[in-house]
Amino acid sequence: MSHAGELNEIFERLPPEAQREALDFLLFLGQRYPESGPLAKKPSVDEATTASIRDHPAVGMWADRSEDSQALLARIRSEQWRT
């Protein structure tokens, strides 16, 4: 049996909480050894993902503000930090 098959067999026998822990550990190992295996491949950003982000309600929520972000932060800080 291959390592992947053996891992899958053991994984399937674990309770859900232990499966989450095993997955977390495997993701940790994938970050620790990024040069090996399929985890080394970066996911591609496809057009559907880009479009869904663009259509999110949070995008552009400050489009109607007249002042730039630095001026806004400076004004808010000066108002809040008065002593």
How many Cα atoms within 13 Å fall on the side-chain side of residue 5? 2
pLDDT category, 21, cuts 50, 70, 90? very high
pLDDT at 68: 80
| Digit-coded pLDDT (tens) for 46-71 | 666 666 766 777 777 767 777 788 88
Let me know: does 3 contact 10? Beta carbons within 8 Å: no
Any idea what DSSP says for residue 81?
Answer: T
